[in-house]
Each structure stands twice: as structure tokens, then as C-alpha cells.
A and B are shown apart, each in its own frame.
Chain A
Amino acid sequence: MVAGKPALIEGAAPRNVFTRRDHHGDSVLDADVVVIGSGAGGATMAAELAEAGFDVIVLEEGSYYQTRDFTADTSAMVRQLYRDGGVTMAIGNPPILYQEGRAVGGSTVINGGMSWRTPDKVLARWDHEIGLAGIARELEPYFERVERRIHVATMDREVIGNDNLLLKKGADAKGWKVIDNLRNQAHCAGSNRCAFGCPTGAKQSALVSYIPRALHYGARVYADVHVEHITRQGARATGVIGRVAGSGHRITVRAKLVVAACGAIHTPSLLVRSGFRSPSGQLGHNLSMHPNVKVVAIFDEDVTGWKGTHQAFQVREFQDQGLLFAAVNLPPSLLAMSFPHRGAALGELMAQYDRMVLAGMLCEDTATGRVRTIKGRPQAFYQLAAADAANLKRGTVLLSELLFAAGAKRIFMPFHNSAELHGPDEARALLDRDIPASGWEVVTVHMMGTARMGNDRSAAVTSAFGMVHDTERLMVADASLFPTPIGVNPMETIMALSTRAAGYVIDNASKFLS
């Protein structure tokens, strides 16, 4: 048997953080509000309500770690911080690998920290097509508040690595719009370990921002608790029942308001297995994924992309066409597994690791998928649309052109059986080539839309504030709410919506606390 050696050490938990070691039997807890999930939505909600005086309990399925627990051991971090070891998959053609954080702080612990407001064109669409009148104006102060709290800023110049500088060089050479990325960081140190838990504490994830704030104002956080279902009396949510990891002890929380903030995959499934139905028929539907692909470029010069900040720039030239480009970096092990090479060929390729630039592309999708609940567990189904596949192809060609303009000598594409490219002409020739959907290697970390908000209960699962239609005291506060994909990284939108929803709860406190 492989030794169950500890990969991470749980630090001494601060007051009001409870882990599996603190449970010695079944327990029953009371609170004003129980929040399920501690990521961008849940942590924000908990902090705002706790400061307003609500008695808040946060339940998180993952464990509680602190900055000092985040090490250079990549695979250990992935096993501990990612749901299912990072190999969760949406079924479709092609299957899409998606990643979710599973730790106190949720996916904010493992994301790249990009902090962008919902684009104006998206908010305009939500206003005109979804009926969320005035949402752009309404969200403005909440964006400002979130940005202040999580310290949204551009990078200090001295920590920008060569991979990002080459991306910018290529964009500049092409005359394409490239902007400084906004990230939730307080002087990012440039360890390039964002995706494995920031080991410097610079990334202002929920773990080091909203969660400490929630605790400071009296919230209680229970880690290692899997919520089995929301309890109810008729249409009214009354609390939750969960199980503690390891021991299986039962934990019951009785609350006056239940907030589901488990992300767009797990929130609809939790609601379904708790017996809630939406008259809209949209619960679990409308899944958007921002399909994401990566290309690897090899340069003659030293890049050493693992030294420097993550995604310092974004290429916005094609944002109106739903495409964003950025330089990312992966440790050797994760990069090696993306290549089809093996044996000596793999060794020769990986020997050039320090001359590689890994560039990623986000595609705003037009297709929607679905989350089904099968034997109590969520399963995502998503079929890449032909139009989105065409956009991915066009985007990889454009991204390759950019990298060649920056001086790349060879580029590897994100689909099976693709020959490596040696120049921009070879890249453009791909536009005439048929690439079957099954050939794409697509990943994502942006799942959205499965409990869409809107005032029309025949078309939306929740109200504009996330209150689930035709239920009482049940709220959603995560990316499930998005009526459409937003085309940029979703964290700040989630936090702003959650702050706005917290304001709604505070404004109606007497109703919720009765």
C-alpha cells in the first residue's frame, strides 16, 4: 500500500475554525445563516453578514489549510486542494476536464487571481435580455468594495517573468491590444504557484481575506463537512445535514437562511437531491464553461517561466469575438502530461522546459450544457458547439502568430495528432484543416449558469438577488447565478453579486430572522 503520508499539515486553526479533529460525535448547531461553501461567493456572504451581526456558520467540504501549508510539492497540492485530484470531467465530445477547489477558500485558493468586473456588454445583455434592469449601476459600488477588500491591482514590474514579457512582445509586434492584468494580490512575489495555493500569502484569496474577516466578526467555519442535503419544511429551507470527513459524524445545522455557494456544478445537484425543483425547468441547465486551450511555444532564449508572476497581461484584441490570451506556467510534471510524446522524445522536449512559453486562451462559449444528478452526485454534460470549436481553432492560430512574432521557433497545438508548427504560415494553414471536436484537449475552471438569476420565475431559478424562486429562505451565491457566460474570469463578479445579495439580506433582516 502506498503510504498515506501527510502532504499538507493543517496549521493550528484560528478560533472558530473547526476541522474533522474537533468532532467527537454527532452534533446539532443553530445559526441565523448557514453558508454551504467557502469560496468566492460563500466567504464573501459570510463576512458581510457576520459583520452586520448575523450568526453565521460556513460549511466547507475541503480541509482548512494556511499559507504555510502550501509547498512546492505540486502533486500533493493538487491531491489536497482540488476536487477529485483535479480530474473531474464534463462528458461530451470532446470531454472537458474541469477543476474546482476543495478547501476552505474554495476555488479562490487555486485560481490565477484574475479580478475583472463583468464586462459592460454582458451587463447590458443581462439588463435588456434577462430583465435585470439597472444591474450595471447597481453593481458598481459592490465591485468597488470587493476590489478594495481583495486588493485588486496590476503587477509590480519587477516580478513579471519572461514568459509574460514575451507574450506582450508578440502582441506589441502584431499591434494587438494587450493590457496589464488585474489580480487580487498585495505585491505578488512571483512564485508562479497560484494554482497550487499561494505560498507567499500575496494572493488575496478568500482564505486570506474574506474568511479571516468572517471569523473576526464571529462567523464559525466548519471544514471537512460534506453537506448531504438541505432540510426543509414544505417550500421553506430550515438548515442542512452533513457528514464529517473521516469519522462520518453527522452534523445538523438549523438556520433561518440557507445559502448554497458550492459552485455551478454542485449547487444545482445539492438543490435537486434536497428535493427542490424549479418551475423554470432551468435548475442544472444553462451550463457555460469558457472552454480553455493552451499552446506551448519553444524559444531560443531562456524563459524560465516559473520565475515570475502568473498572467501579468491579457491580450484583449479579440475580446469582442470572445477570445482572451494570457501566458501561464505549469510545473514540469503537468506540462509533460499535456504532450503526446514519450520515451526519448519526451525527454528531449522536456529538456527545453526553461525555454518554453505556455499560453492559454479563454473562449466565451455559445453552447450550454447541463448538470445532472446521478445517484446523488453531479455529472456535467457539455457539447462543444461547432461555432465555438471554430473560434478555438481561430484563436489558437492567432495565438500562434503572436508567439512566432515574439520569436518562438516551434509551437505545439492543443489537439491530437497535430504536427508541431515552425512558422506563422503553418499556423494559418490550420484554418483550412478540419479538426474534429474529439481531437481538442479542452480544460476549464469557469463553470457558470446552472441556477440562473432573473425576475421571470418561468425562465430563471432565482431572483436577481439569488433567492430561489418558489422557495423560502433559500439563496444561491455563486457562479450558478450567471444568466450567460461573461467572457472574463468570474471571481469578482461572483463576489460582487454575493455582496449585493448580502445587502439584500441585511436590508430584510427582520424577515429573515423571524
Chain B
Amino acid sequence: MTAATPEPAYRHSTTARAVLRSLVPVICPPEAIELGDAIVEHMALTLAGAPAVLRRGFAVGLVAYDLGALPRYARRARSLRGDRAERYYAWWERGPTKVHAQLARGINQLMSLSCYEQPQMMERLGYRPGPWITQVTERRLTVYRDDVRRQAAQILAPDPLRPGVRVKPERS
């Protein structure tokens, strides 16, 4: 009777993937750069749960970001590396318009989220919630076993809101 709940799927466009991959060294800490592919994949997973209108806006924004580099650098943003990639992103971040700044901020937020969702990054911070959950759960069930059982029983115990009133016979 156990079945998996499928997660909604989402795939970056070729452009979006290339742009995001190029931005990993700009946004993520140096120690995360080798995780670039996983970070970009995780961003797709996150976007899958977001409203369609946000996904579409994000994808369109990345195309604009990609093409917006052409007048300045004679190449697309996805091909920029090092200082040029940094300067171009910073230009969007400062925001010639609010929309530029919002997109840059949105990319930063989503990529930072996905960066620190990588197990290696959490491990670097010493963040290990899994074992902690196991430890405190066991402790609770040991130290407070009787109270926990009492509460579970209380949840189901008869306690009618209007004593003596039962609007229909007991159903089987």
C-alpha cells in the first residue's frame, strides 16, 4: 500500500542551463564550483514546484541575460568567464532597471539555495540534521514514553463537544 509520490518534473532549456552553469563561479563559493552540474540540476528541481508563471518568467529572463551580453562583449553571457562574467552579472545586480536587479537577485537566491542543498556543502558547515533527528526522536520516546502514549490516547478518547448529543446512530 506504499507508493511514491512523483515530483513534478522540469527541464532547463539549453540556454538556461548554459547560462546558469556559467554563473556558478560568479554566485557560489569557490568550494562549490566543482558541484556546478548538481547545483544547476537542483535548481530545476526547485523550479518544478514553483508556479508556471514564475518558471516562464525565469526562463525568459535567462534568455535576456544571455543575449544582453552581446553588445558589450560580442558574445553571449554563457560564454563569459572570469572577470567578464563577474562584471556582467554585477551590472545586472546593480540594476539599470528594477527588472534587471530582480532577475539577478532571483538567480542569486535560487542558486544559493541549491548550492547549500548539496550534501557536501552542508557537511562543510557541520550541518547534519539526519542523525540529530534520530537522536532526539529516540530520546523523546525513551524519556517521555508514558506522556507520549497518554497524548496519543487522548487524541482518540471520547470527549463530545455537546455531551449527550449524537445526531445519528453509530455507523459501523
Chain A interface residues toward B at CB < 8 A: 1-13, 21, 32, 48, 51-55, 63, 71-72, 74-76, 78-80, 82, 84-88, 145, 148-149, 151, 159, 186-187, 189-191, 193, 199-202, 204, 208-209, 212-213, 216, 218, 246, 306-307, 331-340, 342-344, 346-348, 350-351, 353-354, 438, 499, 502-503, 506-507, 509, 513
Contact = CB atoms under 8 A, between A and B. Distances in A.
Contacts of A350: 29, 116, 125
Most buried by A among B115, B121, B140: B140
B121 A332 contact: yes
B171 A55 contact: yes
Given A32-B168, A51-B158, A80-B7, 7 more contacts: A6-B5, A51-B160, A75-B113, A84-B50, A87-B50, A336-B112, A342-B108
A87 B54 contact: yes
A354 B155 contact: no
A13 B5 CA distance: 13
20 contacts: A10-B3, A12-B1, A51-B159, A51-B161, A52-B165, A79-B7, A79-B45, A87-B50, A159-B136, A187-B147, A187-B148, A190-B136, A213-B155, A307-B132, A331-B129, A332-B122, A333-B113, A343-B25, A347-B28, A353-B126
B3 A52 contact: no
Given A13-B1, A51-B158, A336-B116, A306 B129 contact: yes
B10 interface: yes
A342 B151 CA distance: 47
Label chain B's interface by main secondary structure.
Answer: helix
A176 to B, nearest CB: 30
A53 B167 contact: yes
A191 B133 contact: yes
Contacts of B148: 186-187
A422 to B, nearest CB: 23
B46 interface: yes
A9 B127 contact: no
Most buried by A among B108, B125, B129: B129
Contact of B49 (A74, A78, A342): A78
A86 B125 CA distance: 25
Interface string B2-27: 11111111110000000000000111
A85 B48 CA distance: 8
B151 A52 contact: no
Interface in B16-73: 25-32, 41-42, 44-46, 48-51, 54
B51 A2 contact: no
A439 to B, nearest CB: 11
Contacts of A199: 133, 137
A337 B108 CA distance: 7
Most buried by B among A3, A72, A190, A212: A72
Contacts of B110: 337
A193 B133 CA distance: 9
B74 interface: no
Contacts of B10: 2
B27 A506 contact: no
Contact of A351 (B8, B41, B125, B133): B125
Interface residues of B, number: 75
A502 B161 contact: yes
Interface string B130-154: 1011001101100110011001001
A335 to B, nearest CB: 8
B161 A48 contact: yes
Contacts of A331: 116, 122, 127, 129
Contacts of B50: 84-85, 87
A53 B147 contact: no
A332 B151 contact: no
Contacts of A513: 167
Interface in B66-110: 86, 98, 105, 108-110
Contacts of B49: 78-80, 82, 84-86
A451 B156 CA distance: 32
A12 B2 contact: yes
Contact of A1 (B9, B108, B133): B9
A354 B143 CA distance: 27
Contacts of A32: 168
Nearest to B101: A416
B113 A347 contact: no
Nearest to A347: B29
B27 A52 contact: no
B5 A347 contact: no
Nearest to A145: B161
B5 A7 contact: yes
Contact of B51 (A8, A79, A84, A351): A84
A75 B27 CA distance: 19
A209 B154 CA distance: 9
B2 A2 contact: no
Most buried by B among A190, A208, A212: A190
Contact of A54 (B7, B117, B167): B167
Contact of A342 (B27, B44, B171): B27
Contacts of B162: 52, 503, 506-507
Contact of A340 (B46, B108, B125): B108
A333 B133 contact: no
B127 A53 contact: no
Nearest to B11: A1
Contacts of B11: 1-2
Q: Which A-B residue pairs are the 7 nearest by beta carbons?
A: A347-B29, A85-B49, A6-B4, A79-B49, A189-B136, A72-B129, A333-B116
